[in-house]
């Protein structure tokens, strides 16, 4: 967990995270030390990144000599980026929009790392504050921090990890040309791109990312990397770092990486499944995983089950954050392992929630919930904040899960699905946005400005693709995230 002298009490507003004079001084001192170290290692620039509402990682960079100033006073950036669409056109919401205003990007020094895939560059995720040091209401990292603090106040912590899928194309053209020919999950694919994959693994390791697996995926040219679970802020930071590392290493090898939910209109898409486990912090023998060792279904404890049920109940609304692109709904179709039905099941890859116990003997640490219906167009901070808020609502109401599903729901007769309460998830972004806007739990947790801005950006992208064919949507989304 991040150490900071800022107060973090889990209060309703973000005011608890305001940046005061003493904290600025502390950060400047820490940054000065870090900058000297980086300069000594030959590093030249630091990329301060944040992810916008449309899921695009945006940045301002500073020379290492300027890190100390940036840590104390931030780097200017317009708030208008909150209403950017994926094609860089701009909409306006009721809270954000227009060319006036200034936000300060402040590097999170605890997560400052040299990026092995970008020689000479370091990376730091950023928080966005107003000039008076108050947190920007749309700072998704601050929203996630608040959600972790709200759970902490109840005695819970969460471990999370994003699985990252991407498709590798030859060259730098706009069309997708698979960079390998081998079959799904085939060793051939590792052999074909062995040097590239070795360099991806090496760069991730050098950057401090703990990779647990890398494998060829199903679709043409598709691969996936899974990383170790961390606290939610760390998991979101890592998701950004992994993507930028893979992107850079792809370019280094004359390849291009697409993280788009749907690289080609007629193929299986890229997911960005989220793994979550809930831990009781005050258990007698140290933190205990609430997803295991209980008397609920497949060994869940009552709180573990309630947390999962809270997420399951709100999946349609969560999709406006977790499957946020028009292209997301080309991916989120039945029988594509994307989890297009609102149901859960043990190791069921067609359920939106796949419950994973892990092998016998390691369940206490391994058991977790995989949310499958999500993709890489999502802002990982905002998405985790939303998932934690809905899980917390499940805890608050001591919710129970419905019966698990152990088949592909698409194969069940519609009457049976209806009788068992297995609903298809939204089949369009418009449907997800309607559910999101009607959802009071998410609105209360994220705040009015966030809800309004998310809806405005989504509507902007829906309008952008009005009348577009799936091929046109896939092409316009392919290289954006
Ligand atoms: N590519 C699939 C998706 O769109 C997921 C495949 C898997 O289960 O890992 O989510
Ligand atoms: Mg996968």
DSSP 286-345: S-EETTSSSSSGGG--HHHHHHHHHHHHTHHHHHHHHS-STTHHHH--TTTTS--EEEEE
How many Å lie between the centroid of ligand 2 and the Cα of residue 337? Answer: 8
Q: Domains, the chain, ranges and CATH? A: 18-142 (3.10.20.70), 152-477 (3.30.590.10)
> Which ligand ends up closest to the CA of 269?
1
Give yes or no for residue 351 CB within 6 A of ligand 1: no
Which ligand 1 atom minimizes the distance to the CA of 271? 10
Which ligand 1 atom minimizes the distance to the CA of 332? 4
At 349, phi and psi to the nearest 5? -80, 0
Res 12: pLDDT: 53
Nearest CA owner, ligand 1 atom 5: 337
Residues 465, 475: Cα–Cα separation, whole Å: 11
Neighbours of 209 (CB within 10 A): 21
Res 427: pLDDT: 98
Residues 300, 357: Cα–Cα separation, whole Å: 9
> Which ligand ends up closest to the CA of 273?
1
Res 184: pLDDT: 97
How many Å lie between the centroid of ligand 1 and the Cα of residue 378? Answer: 15
335-374: pLDDT as tens digits: 999 999 999 999 999 999 999 999 999 999 999 999 999 9
Give yes or no for residue 349 CB within 6 A of ligand 1: yes
Instruction: Count Cβ atoms within 10 A of the Cβ of residue 359 and give its class: 0-12 exposed, 13-18 middle, 19 or more buried.
Output: exposed
**What is the DSSP pairing of strand 75-77 with strand 288-289?**
unpaired
Res 6: pLDDT: 40
> Which ligand ends up closest to the CA of 354?
1
Res 2: pLDDT: 43
Q: Which residues of the chain have pLDDT under 50?
A: 1-11
pTM over 0.75: yes
411-436: pLDDT as tens digits: 999 999 999 999 999 999 999 999 99
Give yes or no for residue 331 CB within 6 A of ligand 1: yes
Pocket test for ligand 1, best of 185, 273, 319 (most atoms within 8 A of CB): 273
**What is the DSSP pairing of strand 211-216 with strand 351-356?**
unpaired
Res 172: pLDDT: 85
């Amino acid at each position: 967990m991040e150490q900071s002298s800022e107060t973090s009490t889990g209060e309703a507003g973000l005011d608890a995270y305001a940046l005061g004079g003493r904290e600025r001084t502390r950060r400047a001192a820490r940054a000065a030390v870090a900058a000297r170290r980086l300069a000594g290692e030959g590093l030249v620039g630091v990329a301060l990144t944040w992810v916008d509402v449309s899921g695009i990682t945006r940045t301002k960079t500073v020379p290492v000599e300027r890190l100390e100033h940036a840590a104390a006073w931030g780097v200017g950036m317009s708030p208008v980026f909150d209403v950017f669409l994926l094609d860089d056109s701009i909409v306006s919401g009721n809270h954000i929009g227009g060319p006036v205003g200034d936000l300060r990007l402040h590097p999170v020094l605890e997560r400052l790392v040299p990026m092995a895939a970008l020689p000479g560059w370091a990376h730091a995720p950023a928080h966005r504050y107003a000039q008076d040091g108050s947190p920007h209401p749309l700072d998704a990292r601050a929203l996630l921090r608040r959600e972790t603090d709200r759970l902490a106040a109840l005695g819970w912590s969460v471990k999370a990890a994003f699985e990252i899928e991407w498709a590798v194309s030859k060259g730098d053209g706009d069309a997708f040309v698979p960079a390998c020919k081998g079959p799904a999950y085939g060793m051939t694919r590792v052999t074909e791109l062995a040097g590239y994959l070795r360099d991806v693994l090496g760069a991730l390791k050098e950057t401090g990312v703990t990779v647990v697996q890398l494998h060829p995926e199903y679709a043409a040219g598709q691969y996936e990397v899974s990383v170790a679970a961390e606290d939610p802020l760390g998991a979101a930071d890592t998701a950004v770092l992994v993507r930028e590392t893979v992107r850079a290493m792809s370019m280094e090898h004359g390849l291009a990486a697409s993280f788009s939910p749907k690289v080609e209109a007629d193929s299986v898409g890229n997911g960005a499944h989220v793994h979550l486990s809930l831990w009781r912090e005050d258990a007698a023998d140290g933190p205990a995983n609430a997803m295991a060792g209980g008397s609920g279904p497949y060994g869940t404890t009552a709180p573990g089950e309630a947390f999962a049920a809270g997420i399951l109940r709100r999946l349609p609304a969560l999709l406006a954050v977790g499957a946020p692109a028009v292209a997301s709904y080309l991916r989120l179709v039945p029988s594509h392992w994307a989890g297009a039905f609102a149901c859960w099941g043990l190791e069921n890859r067609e359920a939106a929630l796949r419950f994973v116990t892990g092998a016998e003997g390691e369940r206490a640490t391994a058991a977790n919930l995989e949310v499958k219906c999500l993709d890489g167009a999502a802002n990982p901070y905002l998405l985790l904040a939303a998932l934690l808020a809905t899980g917390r609502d499940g805890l608050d109401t001591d919710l129970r899960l419905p019966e698990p599903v152990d088949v592909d729901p698409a194969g069940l007769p519609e009457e049976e699905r209806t009788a068992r309460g297995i609903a298809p998830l939204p089949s369009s972004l418009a449907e997800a946005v309607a559910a999101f806007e009607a959802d009071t739990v998410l609105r209360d947790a994220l705040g009015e400005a966030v809800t309004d801005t998310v809806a405005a950006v989504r509507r902007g992208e829906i309008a952008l693709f009005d009348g577009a064919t799936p091929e046109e949507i896939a092409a316009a989304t392919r290289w954006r995230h």
